[in-house]
Amino acid sequence: MNENKLIVDLRSDTVTRPTPGMLEAMYSAKVGDDVFEEDETVNALQKKAAAIFGMQDALFCPSGTMTNQIAIKRFTNPMEEVICDETAHVYRYEGGGIAYNSMASVRLLYGDRGRLSAELIEPHINPDNVHYPKTSLVVLENTVNRGGGSFYNLDQIEPIYHLCRLKNINLHLDGARIFNALAESGDDPKAYGRMFDGISVCLSKGLGAPVGSLLLGSKETIYHARRIRKALGGGWRQAGFLAAAGIYALDHHIGRLKTDHRNAKTLAQTLVNLSYVSSIMPADTNIVIFELNQRLKPDDFVEKLNHHGIKCNTFGNQMIRLVTHLDISSEKIDYTIDILKKLY
């Protein structure tokens, strides 16, 4: 029983609430109509994010799904093909959006915890032959959600970039958690800007903003992206209140991501020694995915933890996912460890 009424929400890093500082920034934001491109806070956020990655322009959107789907539409035509890992968010969790929005087919590859390589991709690029859909886009995810927060280093991405250039294929990054990846790899975000045609960056995950993602790209890409966003109903008005939260997140919440990663490692180190855990993925960033042994039912496990005020999600095939974030303090980690140890 959860006697001290602590709620530890480890379901996702999207569950964070704005901090007092973030709320203050939102409250005092200067806003305008963003469909007219007159919201100065939105414009400032777009400029700031584009500059971090050395890209020409950016578009602020309501969700990571929308930025990914806009990018896929921008970089493909109907009857063409997208290559991604079978775990990719763009394929698994965006409601069939690739087919619905872009009328493109998908070639799924089986990477290393969701990470692709040039060797893996190359044989799946279709030859120029009327039977085959034209391969026009590769999508990478960094960090990889279903890979347990696995991340790429730049030297793993570089050969993929060269292959895509050689074959005249666009390269998009689902960087919902790119700052988590950068915190570990130490790579220069501007190098990402040089290699990718489009980058999605989420402000509402590890960075703790309530809403919002950005699509980064060239001036021309963002010009088209703005038109696609409008057609999807994503043209918004005084979005500057949300953009202010995003600017605050970029200024204040990137530097602390390693704390989330340390907390994830601490949880993983506990879990690995528990008899009811049969396997666990390396906790490389802020996501811990582990497998329960066969005698436990994942739904019962989630329910039992919930009873103690600890929330988590099942993740298919006996798997459980825990995600650390801004609202998970060391006190909450200690409490969770204590409960996990005496749960069975």
Ligand X SMILES: Cc1ncc(COP(=O)(O)O)c(C=O)c1O
Name the residues that contact ligand X, by CB under 6 A.
63-65, 68, 89, 141, 145, 174, 176, 202, 204, 213
Between 163 and 215, CB nearer to ligand X: 215
Return the axis-axis angle of helices 178-185 and 257-271, rounded to nearest 10°.
80
Residue nearest to ligand X (CB): 64
Q: List C-alpha distances in Å: 56 to 47, 50, 200, 244.
A: 8, 6, 14, 21
33 neighbors 234 (Cβ within 8 angstroms): no
Q: How far is the CB of 343 from ligand X (least distance, A)?
A: 27
Between 145 and 170, CB nearer to ligand X: 145
Between 214 and 247, CB nearer to ligand X: 214
Q: How far is the CB of 93 from ligand X (least distance, A)?
A: 7
Between 178 and 340, CB nearer to ligand X: 178
Q: How far is the CB of 315 from ligand X (least distance, A)?
A: 12
Between 41 and 143, CB nearer to ligand X: 143
**Torsional sign, CA 10, 299, 64, 171:** positive
Instruction: Please state, as a whole number, how many other Cβ atoms lie within 10 Å of the Cβ of residue 317.
Output: 8
Q: How far is the CB of 87 from ligand X (least distance, A)?
A: 9
Q: How far is the CB of 326 from ligand X (least distance, A)?
A: 15
21 neighbors 248 (Cβ within 8 angstroms): yes
Q: How far apart are CA 319 and CA 297, in angstroms?
A: 10
Q: How far apart are CA 24 and CA 46, in angstroms?
A: 20
